[in-house]
């Protein structure tokens, strides 16, 4: 058994979709990123790579590589797991954003991630909270996520 931690942050800008856990959330802004900007999945990828001591997302999927332009982060997650050969025991994660409220979308996000990883949905935990108006995240200019993953490797 090995444990890993991952975190990520993206600016929120107009004219971009807000993708979290592979689910498009209706909102006026989305993540500014080379890929689809799925901040939650990026944190999970880094946690898995970290658990296996296999580097980080930027090394495995360089932003300078045009193959990853607007990439579906769930596919990157799948590739990262295949790369490590790890079996995911469970994931816990937390997203911080000021708005919109994510509660209606949490189950769909858990389903998408569990499906990609071929694990039960009860092994994927996703929480959401605001930053109480503090810092750039609290002003609605950024979104961040943190994830912890236990793997068997």
Binding residues vs Mg ion (CB under 5 A): 8, 42
Residue, CB closest to Mg ion: 42
Annotated binding-site residue? 8: yes
| Cα–Cα dist 134/77, whole Å | 30
| Cα–Cα dist 21/14, whole Å | 20
3-state secondary structure (DSSP) of residue 47: helix
Q: Which is nearer to Mg ion, 42 or 112 (CB)?
A: 42
Annotated binding-site residue? 88: no
Q: Which is nearer to Mg ion, 32 or 153 (CB)?
A: 32
Residue 21 Cβ, how far from Mg ion at the closest point, in Å?
Answer: 13
| Cα–Cα dist 84/145, whole Å | 22
Q: Which is nearer to Mg ion, 8 or 98 (CB)?
A: 8
Residue pair 77/42 in contact (Cβ under 8 Å)? The answer is: no
Annotated binding-site residue? 57: yes
């Amino acid at each position: 058994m090995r444990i890993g931690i991952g975190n990520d942050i993206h600016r929120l800008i107009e004219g971009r979709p807000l993708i979290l856990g592979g689910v498009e959330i209706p909102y006026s802004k989305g993540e500014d990123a080379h890929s689809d900007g799925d901040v939650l999945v990026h944190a999970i990828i880094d946690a898995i790579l970290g658990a296996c001591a296999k580097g980080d997302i930027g090394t495995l999927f360089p932003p300078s590589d045009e193959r990853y332009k607007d990439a579906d982060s769930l596919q990157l997650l799948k590739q990262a797991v295949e790369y490590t050969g790890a079996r995911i025991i469970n994931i816990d994660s937390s997203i911080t954003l000021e708005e919109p409220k994510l509660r209606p979308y949490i189950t769909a996000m858990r389903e998408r991630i569990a499906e990609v990883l071929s694990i039960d949905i009860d092994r994927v935990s996703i929480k959401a909270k605001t930053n109480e108006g503090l810092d750039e995240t609290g002003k609605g200019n950024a979104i961040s996520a943190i994830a912890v993953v236990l793997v068997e490797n």
